[in-house]
Chains A and B, each alone.
Chain A
Amino acid sequence: DADVTQTPRNRITKTGKRIMLECSQTKGHDRMYWYRQDPGLGLRLIYYSFDVKDINKGEISDGYSVSRQAQAKFSLSLESAIPNQTALYFCATSAANEAFFGQGTRLTVV
């Protein structure tokens, strides 16, 4: 679904490096989310945003920060990456009666 685009799709980075994952959408949705998925596990909410001025922590926000640069853009940053942040990251958007996912970013921290 090209309506929600994540970049990069895959990234390998070293421990201690700063990395940014980007998400952009053409759905016109106000709400955007970042989730993390570890192998064999479900989707855990990192941060979510209701609009440009409204950012909220999810259940696992420690070690992460976000920026909602515009309605269509929501980026996730790891200020100092650590190996246990190796995971599959998904961006999602929602409106009242629909929700869409990006393709995912596979991040490996070595």
Chain B
Amino acid sequence: GENVEQHPSTLSVQEGDSAVIKCTYSDSASNYFPWYKQELGKRPQLIIDIRSNVGEKKDQRIAVTLNKTAKHFSLHITETQPEDSAVYFCAALGNKLVFGAGTILRVKS
């Protein structure tokens, strides 16, 4: 079945450094790739998304890249801040919405 693999499972960075989270998907029909940030006990919040006809999208300190040939997409956070600490999920939407297992990001000040 369709699945999304996400790496790393945990990531610790120093404040001001960059963080990169990578995902790989299996469903060739996937055409929409959202990224969510989830704080403890709350619902996942959409932070950025990318559609299959675009290779890169940037919103301030957050960027996402997509390689449809390789079925890879990545989240890049620059100039990390302590408030970026959370769990991040990638997802791929094809026939259904499938999530990666999540990455716990800790930004150390």
Interfacial residues, chain A to chain B (CB-CB below 8 A): 1, 31, 33, 35, 41-43, 45, 48, 56, 59, 88, 90, 92, 94, 96-104, 106
- Write out, one digit per residue, whether chain B residues 88-105 have a CB within 8 A of any chain A CB (1) or not (0): 010101001111111000
Q: Are A90 and B34 in contact (CB under 8 A)?
A: no
How many pairs, one residue from A and one from B, have CB atoms within 8 Å of each other in the complex? 57
User: Given that A42-B102, A102-B43 are contacting pairs, would A31 and B97 also be in contact in the complex, using a CB cutoff of 8 Å?
Assistant: yes
How far does the Cβ of B66 sit from chain A's closest Cβ, in whole Å?
Answer: 13
> How many whole Å from B107's CB to the nearest CB in chain A?
19
Whether B44 sits at the interface, judged by CB under 8 Å, is yes
Known A31-B96, A31-B97, A33-B97; contact A97-B51, beta-carbon cutoff 8 A: yes
What separation, in Å, do the CA atoms of A86 and B26 have in the docked complex?
A: 30
Q: Which residue of A lies closest to B45 (CB)?
A: A101
Enumerate chain B residues within 8 angstroms of A102, measured Cβ to Cβ: 43
The CA-CA distance from A98 to B32 in the complex, in Å, is: 8
